[in-house]
A and B are shown apart, each in its own frame.
Chain A
Amino acid sequence: DSGVTQTPKHLITATGQRVTLRCSPRSGDLSVYWYQQSLDQGLQFLIQYYNGEERAKGNILERFSAQQFPDLHSELNLSSLELGDSALYFCASSVALAPGELFFGEGSRLTVL
């Protein structure tokens, strides 16, 4: 158990809909990262937050947004969903700004029909 909790584990929704994925980092970790993993794309970095502030952006679509709350949990919002958004979404946390060791949750599997 990495100590990172992600909910929901599975989500099935329709195109055009909006979903929110939730992540609770390990106790004491200030950095939260979001990744998308699909079969043909590997692990794609989306966005990083550190202590409530956005620190780095990767290949995150404009339809996607995220935030980190004062209690350090984070949410990833995906809107106007398309079939191609079906993927495994991972949250990871680390204690510092630089990743060092990332601790990953078990992921949220999103299926868009």
Chain B
Amino acid sequence: QKEVEQDPGPLSVPEGAIVSLNCTYSNSAFQYFMWYRQYSRKGPELLMYTYSSGNKEDGRFTAQVDKSSKYISLFIRDSQPSDSATYLCAPMDSNYQLIWGAGTKLIIKP
């Protein structure tokens, strides 16, 4: 079993929809949880991160962590075609290393 599980998709939704992207993890010691976005043929870029359980909002994006169920979510409101990318969740372990999910490919249809 991988430490971080993420559905590779693709997930295809119409423009304007609310998108929910999810990860599960196995290590209860994870405290920081990152979301990176990767456009095709580009390197990943940090979208947002959260510490411990709870929600964090940044514009149209909301990151949510439920440590009791070891479940990480990223919500995108009013999705745009420019949001089409691969989204990678990456918790940080106790050695300060990021443990990467496989990424979910998201397609927003105009």
Contacts and interface: CB of A to CB of B under 8 A. Distances in A.
Interface residues of B, number: 18
A14 interface: no
Interface in B33-63: 36, 41-46, 49
A30 interface: no
A99 interface: yes
Interface of A: 2, 4, 42-45, 48, 56, 58, 90, 92, 97-99, 101-107
Contacts of A104: 43-45
The B contact surface, by secondary structure, is loop
A101 B46 contact: yes
A107 B43 contact: yes
Contacts of B92: 98-99
Contacts, number: 47
Contacts of A107: 41-43
Contacts of B95: 56
Interface of B: 36, 41-46, 49, 88, 92, 95-98, 100-103
Contact of A45 (B49, B88, B97, B103): B97
Contacts of A90: 43-44
Contact of A99 (B42, B97, B101, B102): B97
A58 B45 CA distance: 21
A86 to B, nearest CB: 15
